[in-house]
């Protein structure tokens, strides 16, 4: 049985932190990070505001991301092996269909790309308020550092726009409060995955 779980959310909401803990706890669990599909800086458009437009879907190679997810769907055992993920002994032996295999897809623009919408068996979304987000982001170093004013001029307005679009996309999304502690968020999602996906077997 294969399950694909989306962990979406605002920048610095805690997606990677939550994902890292879930991977360790869930059986035969692989991960795809949307940030790994950013195009190189010279292919990122510069807007009328003068900022490189990182926080739009066209800054990402979404076709490559979809193909990576398809690769997992076609052969989760091979995918796990090639990504150094330890499988349970049963999963090493048996037909993948008789075993639980989980893929977590993590990213800031997961639910704003049509071809991905019907891929998720469960969709989570982490939010934090403006002040907290700005504060956490100011401590981060991306491969290309944020120029002054990027957060207020581009990152936050794009977040608000994409969030509105996402809320209208019809996907059943479970919203998570990113102000909860790391432990609280992990416990909530871990329990929910067990209740909604794994116990159903
Ligand atoms: N529940 C939490 N409470 C307080 N701080 C948190 C929590 N979760 C994560 N953080 C902190 O917030 C920062 C961002 O976390 P993380 O990298 O997990 O976010 P992200 O959503 O993956 O960010 P991005 O995708 O923008 O890189 C880190 O410094 C992390 O330690
Ligand atoms: N990972 C990168 O290449 C990169 C470069 C510039 C900006 N970002 C930021 O990453 C966030 C998503 O995690 C977005 O808000 C981008 O601004 C990433």
Distances (CA, A) of 151 to 17, 46, 164: 21, 15, 18
Angle at which helix 15-25 crosses helix 182-193, to 10 degrees, equals: 50
C-alpha 118 to ligand 2 mean position (Å):
25
Q: What is the pLDDT along the chain (201 residues), one digit of tens a residue?
A: 999 999 999 999 999 999 999 999 999 999 999 999 999 999 999 999 899 999 999 999 999 999 999 999 999 999 999 999 999 988 888 787 789 999 999 999 999 999 999 999 999 999 999 999 999 999 999 989 999 999 999 999 999 999 999 999 889 999 999 999 999 999 999 999 999 988 754
Candidate of 142, 149, 156 to mutate for ligand 2, largest count of ligand atoms within 8 Å of Cβ:
142
C-alpha 54 to ligand 2 mean position (Å):
6
Residue 183 annotated among the catalytic residues of the structure: no
* Mode of pairing for the β-strands spanning 122-127 and 173-177: parallel
Predicted TM-score (pTM) of this structure: 0.96
143 lines ligand 2 (CB under 6 A): yes
How far apart CA 196 and CA 188 sit, in angstroms, is 12
Question: ipTM of this complex > 0.90?
Answer: yes
Ligand 1 atom closest to the Cα of residue 126 is 21
Distances (CA, A) of 92 to 28, 87, 96, 141, 191: 10, 6, 9, 38, 26
C-alpha 12 to ligand 1 mean position (Å):
5
Candidate of 54, 62, 106, 151 to mutate for ligand 2, largest count of ligand atoms within 8 Å of Cβ:
54
Q: Tokens 């193909």 belong to which residue?
A: 67
SS (H, E, C) 32-87: EEHHHHECCHHHCCECCCCCECCCCHHHECHHHHHHHHHHHHHCHHHHHHHCCCCC
12 lines ligand 1 (CB under 6 A): yes
SS (H, E, C) 96-145: HHHCCEEEEEEECCCCCCHHHHCCCCEEEEEECCHHHHHHHHHCCCCCCC
Instruction: Spell out the long-range contacts of 153-160 with Cβ–Cβ below 8 A and sequence spacing 24 or more.
Output: 153/49, 153/51, 154/47, 154/49, 154/51, 154/53, 154/54, 154/55, 155/11, 155/54, 155/55, 156/130, 158/55, 158/56, 159/10, 159/11, 159/55, 159/108, 159/133
């Amino acid at each position: 049985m294969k399950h694909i779980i989306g962990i979406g959310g605002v920048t610095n909401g805690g997606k990677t932190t939550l994902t890292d803990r879930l991977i360790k706890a869930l059986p035969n669990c692989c991960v795809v990070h949307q940030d790994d599909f950013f195009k190189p800086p010279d292919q990122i458009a510069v807007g009328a505001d003068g900022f490189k437009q990182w926080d739009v879907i066209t800054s990402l190679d979404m076709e490559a991301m979809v193909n990576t997810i398809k690769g997992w769907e076609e052969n989760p055992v091979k995918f796990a092996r090639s990504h150094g993920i330890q499988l349970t002994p049963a999963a090493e032996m048996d037909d993948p269909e008789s075993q639980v295999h989980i893929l977590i897809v993590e990213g800031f623009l997961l639910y704003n790309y049509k071809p991905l919408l019907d891929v998720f068996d469960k969709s989570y979304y982490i939010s934090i308020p403006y002040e907290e987000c700005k504060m956490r982001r100011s401590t981060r170093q991306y491969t290309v550092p944020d120029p002054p004013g990027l957060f207020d001029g581009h990152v936050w307005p794009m977040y608000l726009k994409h969030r509105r679009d996402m809320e209208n996309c019809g996907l059943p999304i479970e919203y998570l409060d990113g102000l909860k502690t790391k432990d609280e968020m992990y416990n909530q999602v871990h329990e929910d995955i067990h209740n909604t996906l794994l116990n159903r077997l």
